[in-house]
Amino acid sequence: MRTEPARVLLVDDHALLRTGVANIINHEPDLRVIAEAGNGIEAIEAWDQHHPDVTLLDLRMPLMEGVEVVRVIRERDPSARVIVLTTYDTDDEISRALKAGAKAYVLKDIAADALVGCIRDVLAGKTYLAPAAAAKLAEGVTRVQLTPRELATLTLLADGKANKEIASELDISERTVKTHLAHLFEKLGATSRTEAVKVATRRGLVRLD
Amino acid sequence: MRTEPARVLLVDDHALLRTGVANIINHEPDLRVIAEAGNGIEAIEAWDQHHPDVTLLDLRMPLMEGVEVVRVIRERDPSARVIVLTTYDTDDEISRALKAGAKAYVLKDIAADALVGCIRDVLAGKTYLAPAAAAKLAEGVTRVQLTPRELATLTLLADGKANKEIASELDISERTVKTHLAHLFEKLGATSRTEAVKVATRRGLVRLD
DNA sequence: CGGCGTCTCATCCTTTTGGACGATGGCGGG
DNA sequence: CCCGCCATCGTCCAAAAGGATGAGACGCCG
């Protein structure tokens, strides 16, 4: 006798991609997409309603970020299995997703059978990292750890603000802003603000879009 | 009697999305995917080989940019029909794609039936713009037109280079760099280099990744 | 031919940035 | 209780950036 197929929740803001993935999954006798969601809020609702065996989740969605969704789901059920399926592979996003409790991190250029294999692995209790993602993490052994204030400063910096404006927004002196900036330059290996923004963007610490 | 189904070439570096879209298209009796490609080079090869009735094309691909693919295809056959199917909607990419000869610009969050409708429209000789894309273009009536030197300066600027380095790389005086920068600030509505990078990135004039 | 835009460069000057010292208070862990 | 990390703020100074103003050369288009 055969057991019931594993129940999959599919979350991505691109309907076209959902269709494609759903098709691949439903093609497998042991897997079945039981719900879809197009943003983070819907994802949580769907998860509450269905309690799927595994959730395929995009980061970068409207309304609620993917990492946050992972966190909420794992809060509801610490044994929940979430696979992050995304386009981007900055070391920051990868490590944040894994830290939040994702079991796997795969990129959207993955082949269909590899994705299916990954889902089965995760259902079997294993974890899976896309080679590219693993490499990014490895090189990130020298991971930058920014303090809250440094991150705040960096965010405003990337927004094109001047030191004076940053100081005023954070309600600190311009001198302190310079200190944070000096630390940022140090940690990011940059020598100027524009270079810092470039490096931070590459690493996924801030986003300009 | 019925005519042969229209032949579609599908180009995207995400295999999963190709599967999804192919599935949707092949579901329609009057459409058929006759080839797929995962990057720009393959796309040209496939086009040469098959001369499809319509090409669905992602911008942002490895090896060869989508806009360039549009250009090459339209060079081969000025009546070729290309639909750009992408995730991003910066006014710069939209207008460059249309200028290169794309017949339609749709985003990946489009619904399946809308995509099919768009393909039929284009096959019928019409054009189609995603509402979001159209809006971006409209607001971009005040489109910035950068001169070649300004763009070169902007690119190096976004790479975090100092004026002196930019001057040396472009083989001009630092003074001239400042002039270009001043013009850039003027056109982008920025007052500092970091702000200029932010605005330029948002508009799709440069990319940091 | 006579603008118009682009690219080039200059000088003068102010503001901003970033580096080099240093210094205080708080807080958590060994 | 001390050490290290974080956050805060100072001064002094040199370099970089940016604004004001002006100008010569070239090419294109009406």
Q: What is residue B86's predicted lDDT score, i.e. its pLDDT?
A: 93
Q: What is residue A144's predicted lDDT score, i.e. its pLDDT?
A: 79
Condensed to tens digits (0 to 9), the pLDDT of residues B18-71 reads: 988 998 999 999 999 999 999 999 999 999 999 999 999 999 998 888 999 999
- Which residue from A minimizes the CA distance to B110? A15
Cβ atoms of A156 and A137 closer than 8 Å: no
- Please tell me the pTM assigned to this model: 0.86
Strand D contact with B164 (CB < 7 A): yes
Strand D contact with A149 (CB < 7 A): yes
Using pLDDT thresholds of 50, 70 and 90, give the confidence band for residue A176.
very high
- Min distance B71 CA to chain A CA atoms (Å): 25
> What is the distance between the alpha carbons of residues B111 and B133, in angstroms, rounded to a whole number?
15
Instruction: Find the Å distance, CA of residue A177 to C1' of nucleotide D8.
Output: 10
What is the count of residue pairs from A and B with beta carbons less than 8 Å apart?
116
Which residues of chain B lie closer than 8 angstroms to A87, CB-CB?
14, 87
**Local structure of B174: helix, strand or coil:** helix
Strand D contact with B176 (CB < 7 A): no
Strand D contact with A145 (CB < 7 A): yes
Nearest to B23 among A23, A115, A197 (CB): A23
Q: What is residue A139's predicted lDDT score, i.e. its pLDDT?
A: 65
Picking from A98, A86, A188, the residue whose alpha carbon sits closest to that of residue A143 is A188
Strand C contact with B19 (CB < 7 A): no
Condensed to tens digits (0 to 9), the pLDDT of residues B65-93 reads: 899 999 999 999 999 999 999 998 888 88
Using pLDDT thresholds of 50, 70 and 90, give the confidence band for residue B208.
confident
Q: Which residues of B touch A (CB under 8 A)?
A: 13-24, 38, 87, 108-112, 115, 157-162, 190, 192-199, 201-202, 208-209
State the helix-helix crossing angle for B40-50 and B66-76, rounded to 10 degrees: 20
Highest mean pLDDT out of A86-95, A105-114, B160-169: B160-169
Least confident of A81-85, A104-108, A127-131, B165-169: A127-131
Bases in strand D with any atom closer than 7 Å to a protein CB: 5-11, 16-23
Alpha helices in chain A (DSSP H): 15-26, 40-50, 66-76, 91-100, 112-123, 131-139, 148-158, 163-170, 174-188, 193-203
Using pLDDT thresholds of 50, 70 and 90, give the confidence band for residue A99.
confident
Instruction: Find the Å distance, CA of residue B71 to C1' of nucleotide D11.
Output: 59
| Window A86-115, strand D contacts by Cβ < 7 Å | none
**Token digits of residue A139:** 């090189």
Using pLDDT thresholds of 50, 70 and 90, give the confidence band for residue B149.
very high
Which residues of chain A lie closer than 8 angstroms to B202, CB-CB?
208-209
Strand D contact with B192 (CB < 7 A): yes
Neighbours of B45 (CB within 10 A): 12
Using pLDDT thresholds of 50, 70 and 90, give the confidence band for residue A209.
confident
> What is the distance between the alpha carbons of residues B86 and A30, in angstroms, rounded to a whole number?
32
**Token digits of residue B77:** 């056959």
